Amino acid sequence: MKRDFLTVWDLSSQETENLLRRAVDLKTGKDRNSCPLIGKSIGLIFEKPSTRTRVSFEAGIYQLGGQPIALNPSELQLGRGETMSDTARTLSRYLSGIVIRTFAHSTLETFSRDASVPVINGLSDLHHPCQVLADLMTMLEKKGRIKGLKVAFVGDGNNVCNSLIEAASSMEFNLTIACAEGFEPDAGIMEKARESARSEIVVLRDPKEAAGMADVIYTDVWVSMGQEQYSDEKKKKLQAYQVNSRLLSCSKKDVIVLHCLPAHRGEEITDEVMDGPHSVVFDQAENRLHAQKALIEMLLT
């Protein structure tokens, strides 16, 4: 039976733990010559621009012995009116799996419903689960554990924040979200997470309170792709949520700083922090490759 990965909750906590262990093994070079995707092709449909997601998936699929096929929606019959359902049914006859980076999460749900091969969420406006797998791997790598960590997410309650909430509820780390009024994470995800959580998930206004004694401080851009029309308003309301040296002084001395990139330096994060000793953002970016290889291996073999 085919399995999709549209949200963090599509994997159990035990499956996530197994995946992270496998990702660590892959990063060390274990099974370097293992090519479980030989003879398999995986489609990559990207409606949004991408650096890390596209390159990490293409490289990872190739390293596992498979063939990545990048598909520009404007060059498919989707661009001439073919339905998402018909495209999903057709591509399933050619491909062993499909990665989609899109705007509306409903696009992924429709595609996965009609596809007969695994569908992976490369990003939607509501969720970014592949990013959070890499985040969890980075926490494990740098802190030696995930359970019981205190994570502070500072800024806009966006798709990354939503997926981080899901991860906190299943992986038992405590998550404090500091955001301005009107920029909270998705209410439905929050409600479901609190019902199932074995950890504390809190939304508040004061970034210093959120960062207090944090093991991890996480931020993301204030204006996500497709939301540029709100740029000036959001930047004005989120100015107090910049991750800078003053905010880091509220956290633990060995705090690590995460950012899923790309970063708008001087807005949500300063150069001093981004390039400083607490920053692990480029290790985090690298871990997209290893976590996604483990995910693909889990779903397609």
Q: Which residues contact 83 (CB under 8 A, 6 or more apart)?
A: none
The reply to whether 35 belongs to the active site is no
Residue in 22, 52, 54, 101 annotated catalytic: 101
Residue in 22, 131, 156, 161 annotated catalytic: 131
Spatial separation of the C-alpha atoms in residues 137 and 290, rounded to whole Å: 9
Residue in 260, 278, 290, 292 annotated catalytic: 260
Tokens 């063939």 correspond to: 67
Spatial separation of the C-alpha atoms in residues 290 and 270, rounded to whole Å: 28
Tokens 């899901």 correspond to: 166
The reply to whether 128 belongs to the active site is yes
Q: Identify residue 128 by its one-letter amino acid code.
A: H
CA angle 138, 142, 147 (to 5 degrees): 80
Residue in 156, 186, 215, 220 annotated catalytic: 220
Spatial separation of the C-alpha atoms in residues 1 and 104, rounded to whole Å: 26
Measured N-to-C along each axis, helices 129-143 and 281-300 cross at an angle, to the nearest 10 degrees, of 120
The reply to whether 10 belongs to the active site is no
List the end-to-end C-alpha distance of the chain, in Å, as a whole number. Answer: 12
The reply to whether 220 belongs to the active site is yes
The reply to whether 250 belongs to the active site is no
Residue in 128, 259, 278, 290 annotated catalytic: 128
Q: What amino acid positions are annotated as catalytic residues?
A: 101, 128, 131, 220, 260, 288
